[in-house]
């Protein structure tokens, strides 16, 4: 297994920058809070670049530009012009460049076959009530359940794919709650599901791909998308 050097180097560099900033070694004074948020955004940017997560890349740069608007001479653009441009760029680039996730194929025997990068985060959840929190990275989760009831999916500064094609809904009703912030979430749903959407969209992008059948269990998808992307894909 290859050693992941990113986080050790990042943490060491963060410590050096933090000490140097407090000693006044930079020409531009940085407060402790500014350094903290800068390090978080740089970590998000590095992770997003690695996996070509366009939403993470664009909004990390946008928030860094807002933080350093004064030395960059762009205070007139803060914050809404920068955020509006970031939203349009994020949507446009996401349409052109897909993240480096695992590619998914379904065979005639309903087996999952993964073509993956060895550094990806993939897993299986066996539960009727799913709770998933993903931040700073890209992940894939396969849900298995014979009596699926609900799922709560929180994605922040990350990218995620969640597959529901191997679950059964016994009571003809289930709920999926989503909270996407500065990231992207793709839901892969069976075509038999009759989906009702109740999603609050704040400067984000919500799309649907594929055509569901006319009969099947009812599923409600609710929650919010803020400066991110939600894709509902029927398979």
Same domain, 42 and 119: no
Same domain, 81 and 117: no
Contact 210, 187 (CB under 8 A): no
Query: In the 8-state DSSP scheme, what is residue 199?
Result: E
What is the reported pLDDT for 99? 63
Does residue 1 fall inside a structural domain?
no
Same domain, 92 and 113: no
What is the reported pLDDT for 170? 84
The 10s digit of each residue's pLDDT in 67-115 is: 888 888 888 988 889 988 988 888 888 777 766 544 443 433 333 434 3
What is the reported pLDDT for 190? 94
Same domain, 108 and 222: yes
What is the reported pLDDT for 28? 64
Q: How many domains does the chain have?
A: 2
Count of beta carbons in the 10 Å neighbourhood of residue 116? 12
Does residue 14 fall inside a structural domain?
yes
The residue ranges of the chain whose pLDDT is under 50 are 1-3, 101-118
Cα–Cα distance for residue pair 87/175, rounded to 1 Å: 28
Count of beta carbons in the 10 Å neighbourhood of residue 215? 7
Contact 162, 143 (CB under 8 A): yes
Does residue 36 fall inside a structural domain?
yes
Burial 26-36 (b: 16+ CB within 10 A, else e): eeeebeeeebe
Does residue 40 fall inside a structural domain?
yes
Quick one: tokens of 13? Answer: 């560099």
Same domain, 26 and 136: no
What is the reported pLDDT for 203? 75
Instruction: Tell me which residue range forms the domain holding 206.
Output: 104-234
Burial 169-184 (b: 16+ CB within 10 A, else e): beeeebbbbbbbbbbb
Does residue 225 fall inside a structural domain?
yes
Angular region, 24: left φ>0, alpha ψ -120 to 50, beta rest: left
């Amino acid at each position: 297994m290859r050693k992941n050097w990113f986080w050790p180097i990042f943490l060491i560099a963060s410590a050096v920058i933090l000490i140097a900033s407090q000693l006044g070694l930079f020409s531009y004074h940085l407060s402790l809070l500014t350094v903290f948020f800068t390090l978080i955004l740089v970590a998000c940017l590095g992770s997003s670049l690695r996996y070509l997560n366009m939403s993470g890349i664009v909004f990390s740069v946008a928030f860094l530009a807002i933080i350093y608007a004064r030395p960059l001479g762009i205070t007139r653009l803060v914050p809404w012009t920068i955020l509006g441009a970031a939203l349009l760029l994020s949507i446009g680039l996401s349409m052109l460049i897909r993240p480096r996730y695992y590619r998914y194929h379904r065979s005639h025997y309903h087996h999952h076959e993964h073509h993956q990068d060895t550094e990806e985060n993939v897993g299986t959840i066996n539960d009727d009530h799913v709770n998933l929190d993903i931040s700073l990275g890209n992940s894939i989760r396969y849900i298995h359940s014979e009596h699926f009831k609900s799922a709560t999916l929180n994605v922040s500064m990350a990218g995620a794919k969640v597959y529901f094609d191997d679950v059964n809904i016994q009571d003809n009703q289930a709920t999926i709650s989503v909270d996407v912030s500065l990231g992207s979430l793709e839901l892969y749903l069976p075509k038999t599901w009759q989906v009702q959407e109740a999603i609050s969209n704040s400067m984000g992008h919500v799309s649907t791909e594929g055509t569901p059948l006319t009969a099947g269990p009812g599923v409600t998808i609710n929650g919010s998308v803020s400066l991110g992307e939600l894709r509902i894909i029927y398979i």
